[in-house]
Structure 1
Amino acid sequence: MSTTPRGLAALAGITAAAVAIGVAEPVAVLTGPRSAPLIAVGGLVVDVVPEPLKQFAITLFGTYDKIALLVGTALLLAAFAALLGLLAVRRLWIGLAGIAAFAALGVAAALTRAGADAADALPSLVGAGLGGLVLWAFLAGPLEVDPWPWTPPTPPPGPSTPPPAPGPETPDLETAGSAPADPHAGSSGSVDADPAGPVPIDAGAVGGPASVTGPPAGWEPLESTDPESRRRFLRGVGALAGAAAVAGLGGHWLAGRRGVSAAREAVTLPAPSAAAPAVPAGADLSLAQLAPYVTPTSGFYRIDTALVVPQVDPETWRLRIHGRVRNPIELSFADLLARPMVERYVTLACVSNEVGGDLIGNARWLGVPLKELLDEADPEEGADQVVGRSVDGWTCGTPTAVLRDGRDALLAVGMNGEPLPVEHGFPARMVVPGLYGYVSACKWVTELELTSFADFDAYWVPRGWSAQGPVKTQSRIDTPRPRNRLTTGPVMVAGVAWAQHRGVSRVEVRVDGGPWREATLAPTVSVDTWVQWSWRWDATPGEHILQVRATDATGEPQTGREQPVEPDGATGWHTVKVTVR
């Protein structure tokens, strides 16, 4: 059993974990970033965590949900490592077994990811091996401890007999034998004159080292270390933690160098054979706090299950269109770019978007019509689902009929005039107007498999989401917002509304539950994009409730019935409470 104090033992466990994670990063440069233990285990958490908890994370952290997951995983790992350090003080094998268990979890998580091979186990194994070595080095032998690390037990309440005063006379043996036992007597039965003094020492052989014979019964050890020994311990912790940080950051940097940013920058997009319609004058009202009509690429929302962005080399990328088709197709990236391309404005929305949320954006996309690709592959009868499969194994199921009904469903390669950003699906992704992303917006797509909804459930369906997800009519108030300082008089109320592939015919606003007042719609490119709206309000002093609703081009008004995002998108009227002075 080690005599290392508890605080230092916990620190030793955390340091061992940091070394394991840090060393695994440069190893993962060779095997792929998804094989790094933290990423692999985090990906496993994404797959198995209950849907309510996952949705709570998206609602709370939005597009930062992945960062929050990794930070949370790291904190849990640190707590687990500290506990292992404490347990290893008594039994070193417990700490080493705990590290082995975490290594097994990392290996299992890495090997169960799509496209994994045996090499993906290396980061977890190498990291755990070095982490275990660090824990052993810290705890296998005791620190140099204070020679007398013992404290007497707390005496029971009540009167106590004070120890006899020291004196030159030798006590009468008969009297001494009948006296109460001294609580400070050692195992030899001798009496220590000073209760705070040292325990008995066996001098051993002449010239041999003295040794502590042990504490009296009931005495407890003190966590006291020699100051110099403690300093050496902390210096070792600092050095190893620093080395782990350098290894981890260095591995992350090397992984970035091995990425595809340079390959993306080398891509020259072809001119579209059918350019996007020009954005009409007045489509963007350019009001403060109002979302712009075209969302900047840097501000476009990103929600997916990838903890590390897949790095897909366009030189080796292939798209397979297979399954229940009469003419399977395989395309390279060069083949794809050689096809006629169209450019369209399309608004995409995430099914996790709460009423009034911002997980929605409008962009200009360039790509090959999916209808042309599917017509060429010639689906068989009954193949009513197209399963888009990402390079990381994620799947979405899109109705075949929707992709062939004439809407501008694209296999996109460009976004806002540039090649797709890596985090948005480079080299190619699906863009389908009128469907939530979880059933259509496959990024880093590498397969389109024709099957049926009866035969295959895509990623989100077994997790409680609807197999088909048409976008619901929604509207949002962007300005004013609750934190704004409003004054009596004219106030411009404005926002956006959407009903992709149906279009928005009307937007109405009401104050404090009063009558609905029709807002003014700005021009828009097509029914596949959102539309800005505005309404002039003569504000009066006090607190007020603003609400908005939209009506689509079929005449169907947005429902006021409140429904959560699961299983097929939130409903309700966006409501904003404001104060007018």
Structure 2
Amino acid sequence: MSSTTPRYAALAGVAAAAAAIGAAEVVAVLTGPRSAPLVAVGGLVVDAAPEPVKRFGIAVFGTYDKIALLVGTGVLLAGFAALLGVLAVRRLVVGLAGIAAFAALGAGAALTRAGADGLDVLPPLVGALVGGVTLWAFVAGPLELDPWPWSPPTEQRPPGPDEAGPQRAHEPAEAGPQHSPAPAAAGPQHSSAPDGAGPQRGADPESRRRFLTGVGAVLGVAVVGGAAGRWWAGRRGVADARAAIRLPAPVSAAPPLPAGVDLQVPGVAPFVTENRRFYRIDTALVVPQVDPQTWRLRIHGRVRNPVTLSFADLLARPMVERYVTLACVSNEVGGDLIGNARWLGVPLRELLDEVQPLDGADQVVGRSVDGWTCGTPTVVLRDGRDALLAVGMNGEPLPVAHGFPARMVVPGLYGYVSACKWITELELTSFADFDAYWVPRGWSAEGPVKTQSRIDTPRPRNRPAAGPVTVAGVAWAQHRGVRRVEVRVDGGPWQEAELAPTASVDTWVQWSWRWEATPGEHTLQVRATDAAGEAQTEQRRGVAPDGATGWHSVTLTVE
């Protein structure tokens, strides 16, 4: 296929890459989804990407950042595969070398994942083998497209009386007059020789049809195989094990919510966030599937009495239930990377008291099954706040995407320093001795949640009528509580809003204010003051290195 058009050569390369990825997904059913090349390479990209790139991804795509990364990786792979297809037409070995290089990258990336073993290289290796065979089939094998000129064929003049005419491969050189060259009226001839050498012949429509049919079949099988592999990997997950769990009744239930804690104002976030709507920001491209039967939590490090707990051990311990609002440090001013839920778990204070931290152990490192770490101040986990090793969320076992079978929940700290999901270790160490995942990437070692407020309604796209308008939203200052929320219009005087009843100092609170709106364009601003009397700062600052600050504002037109 050395004279195939670039678009057909590129198509062959993409088909080979699709076959490789599809085959790798099938093999990853046995070795684990994290060993699939796209996921393994994507995880490597997550770890290696510059911090501004990560912040940009979260700011633009929010909770869909992982999908965006996988799609982007797939697009880049398709472009790389198309280039390999074009190069392989000239030299097949170049295309095969490119596939081998990508397999090596996938295998290396898979081996860098926490808990990886030798079997994790199988998906990229099998995928490379399938991709290489597919590329060969299109370039030099049974599916090869008959020659297709790089450029339109050029007319060939008939040979002169002293020139030897072109011989067909099956004709003997001594052919007689009955095999003389066709006259010029027979039309131009097309050559099968590469690089336009010699006469040219037309592309065979049947061969093109066979080639395109082969490409379509490969793409179809790759998509079906890849999707089936991913589906079967999910079936082999822990959904059934999670469904079989019966959570124990708490020895200390969450206090009943006071009447009116949820204002029921259209557009305002509900007081309790549904599990399926709770934000998810983490570094796991594939949600870890942790079997509760084999799960263990090891508490060790600078302690007198290290312990290891099974999930059954954990469920047998006294549980408490509390409403706690969690916020992501990547939440911009006015953002929605925050949620409130009813959590069930074992107080972390009790676990730490049992292991007895040694002097100088000022940091508790939570380590996830996928290797991610967070560093939490030991003193915060022992100061009496409802810091939990949680197993339940809103009355059911933790969703798999939110840390099943166990995770940390710590009021008043951003998730990057406290909310370890799929947790398998708690290591007592010191801030001087160990930097958790985000610290070397430029984030602060400690991350107390800042006082913030948000206008949920009206929104910029709304065009309310002049007259009374309800302005409402939420405010939070976890583990301090919110004392006051104020709103102002067009830079005028601050007006105090009405606060809904407070569930606890560890949750957000809804607020509302009645505005007599006049026609025209207006800007609304909101600020909150915590229970200690410290007002939310006006200074606008981005999320790095320890959370965004500033007043949330909304500009809208009143009709």
Asked if 1:561 corresponds to 2:529, the answer is: no
> What CA distance in whole angstroms lies between the structure 2 residues aligned with 1:278 and 1:516?
33
Report the equivalent of 2:240.
262
Asked if 1:113 corresponds to 2:113, the answer is: yes
Report the CA distance shift for 1:525/1:188 in structure 2 as closer, same or farther (over 3 A): farther
Report the equivalent of 2:68.
68
* Deviation for aligned residue 1:213: 8.3
Say which of 403, 419, 436 aligns to 2:414. Answer: 436
> What CA distance in whole angstroms lies between the structure 1 residues aligned with 2:478 and 2:544?
20
Report the equivalent of 1:37.
37
* Deviation for aligned residue 1:4: 2.5
CA-based RMSD: 2.4
* Deviation for aligned residue 1:278: 0.7
Report the equivalent of 1:205.
173
* Deviation for aligned residue 1:225: 2.3
Alignment of 1:68-467 (within 5 A): 68-140=68-140, 143-145=145-147, 151-152=153-154, 190=163, 200-201=166-167, 204-206=172-174, 225-467=203-445
The answer to whether the Cα contact below 8 Å between 1:430 and 1:442 also exists between their aligned partners in 2 is yes
The answer to whether the Cα contact below 8 Å between 1:150 and 1:215 also exists between their aligned partners in 2 is no
Q: Equivalent residue of 2:212, what SS?
A: helix
> What CA distance in whole angstroms lies between the structure 1 residues aligned with 2:199 and 2:497?
77
* Cα offsets for 1:409-441 (capped at 9, x unmatched): 000000000000000000000000000000000
* Cα offsets for 1:14-38 (capped at 9, x unmatched): 0000000001111101111100001
* Cα offsets for 1:527-553 (capped at 9, x unmatched): 000000111000000000000000011
AA paired with 2:66?
Answer: K
> Any stretches of 5+ residues in structure 1 without a counterpart?
154-182, 192-198
> What CA distance in whole angstroms lies between the structure 1 residues aligned with 2:222 and 2:377?
48
Q: TM-score, normalised by structure 1?
A: 0.90
Report the CA distance shift for 1:509/1:94 in structure 2 as closer, same or farther (over 3 A): same
> What CA distance in whole angstroms lies between the structure 1 residues aligned with 2:153 and 2:254?
82
Report the CA distance shift for 1:92/1:281 in structure 2 as closer, same or farther (over 3 A): same
Report the CA distance shift for 1:365/1:222 in structure 2 as closer, same or farther (over 3 A): farther
- Give the percent of matched residue pairs that are identical in Structure 1 and Structure 2: 75
* Deviation for aligned residue 1:239: 1.1
* Deviation for aligned residue 1:149: 8.0
> What CA distance in whole angstroms lies between the structure 1 residues aligned with 2:512 and 2:199?
74
* Deviation for aligned residue 1:146: 6.8
* Deviation for aligned residue 1:262: 0.5
Report the CA distance shift for 1:200/1:207 in structure 2 as closer, same or farther (over 3 A): closer
Q: Equivalent residue of 2:463, what SS?
A: coil
AA paired with 2:452?
Answer: Q
> What CA distance in whole angstroms lies between the structure 1 residues aligned with 2:348 and 2:160?
88
> What CA distance in whole angstroms lies between the structure 2 residues aligned with 1:214 and 1:563?
66
Asked if 1:526 corresponds to 2:504, the answer is: yes
AA paired with 1:237?
Answer: V
AA paired with 1:431?
Answer: V
* Cα offsets for 1:509-566 (capped at 9, x unmatched): 0000111111111111110000001110000000000000000111110001011001
Report the CA distance shift for 1:393/1:217 in structure 2 as closer, same or farther (over 3 A): closer
Say which of 449, 467, 475 aligns to 1:497. Answer: 475
> Any stretches of 5+ residues in structure 2 without a counterpart?
182-188
Q: Equivalent residue of 1:2, what SS?
A: coil
AA paired with 2:248?
Answer: P
> What CA distance in whole angstroms lies between the structure 2 residues aligned with 1:239 and 1:15?
9
> What CA distance in whole angstroms lies between the structure 2 residues aligned with 1:267 and 1:287?
36
The answer to whether the Cα contact below 8 Å between 1:385 and 1:451 also exists between their aligned partners in 2 is yes
* Deviation for aligned residue 1:5: 2.3
- Greater C-alpha Rg: 1
Q: Equivalent residue of 2:449, what SS?
A: coil
* Deviation for aligned residue 1:250: 1.1
> What CA distance in whole angstroms lies between the structure 1 residues aligned with 2:123 and 2:424?
26
* Cα offsets for 1:96-153 (capped at 9, x unmatched): 0100000000000000100000000000000011100000111025532379987349
Aligned length: 545
Report the CA distance shift for 1:514/1:200 in structure 2 as closer, same or farther (over 3 A): same
Q: TM-score, normalised by structure 2?
A: 0.93
* Deviation for aligned residue 1:204: 4.2
The answer to whether the Cα contact below 8 Å between 1:200 and 1:212 also exists between their aligned partners in 2 is no
Report the CA distance shift for 1:212/1:57 in structure 2 as closer, same or farther (over 3 A): closer
* Cα offsets for 1:365-392 (capped at 9, x unmatched): 0000000000100001000000000001
Report the CA distance shift for 1:384/1:219 in structure 2 as closer, same or farther (over 3 A): same
